[in-house]
Amino acid sequence: MVKFLAFSVGCFSCFLLHDQANVALVLSAAFTGLVGTFIPFPARFGNHPYAAIYAGSFAGMCSSILINSYWELSFISLIGASLYVLTMNLFAGFGGRLGSVAFASVALYMLAKGVF
């Protein structure tokens, strides 16, 4: 649950900074990740909530042309958090896991949106 909330916070924060406040895309993702590191999480979660925030901010970098509502962004967050949890131990030590999870969550959502 904490990882889903962290992914959602990262995703929504980055998307809203870019879409509503007209902050540059890379700056909104960097700012989201930076502010996310100051959120205190219990030690039992380790670094996973912080990594989920970063992955969510990567997913939140998608274009507002593709995302028409906040419901769509919440579905992307659900897919992304699920993928993050499923691949948590699978790609340990490999670089690019967070970006891959973000890409896969947006791509799967867009594929499902196009099919249905």
Q: What is the DSSP letter of 45?
A: G
Task: Give the pLDDT score at 94.
Answer: 63
Q: What is the DSSP letter of 66?
A: T
User: What percentage of the chain carries pLDDT values higher than 90?
Assistant: 50
Q: What share of the chain is helix, strand, coil (3-state, %, to 5)?
A: 70, 0, 30
Residue 101 vs residues 32, 43, 52, 79, 111: alpha-carbon distances, Å:
17, 24, 10, 9, 15
Task: Give the pLDDT score at 116.
Answer: 64
In Å, the largest CA–CA distance within the chain is 42
Q: Is the pTM of this model over 0.85?
A: yes
Confidence of residue 15 (pLDDT cuts 50, 70, 90): very high
Gyration radius from the chain CA atoms: 13
Q: Does pLDDT of 95 surpass 80?
A: no
Task: Give the pLDDT score at 65.
Answer: 85
Q: Does pLDDT of 66 surpass 90?
A: no
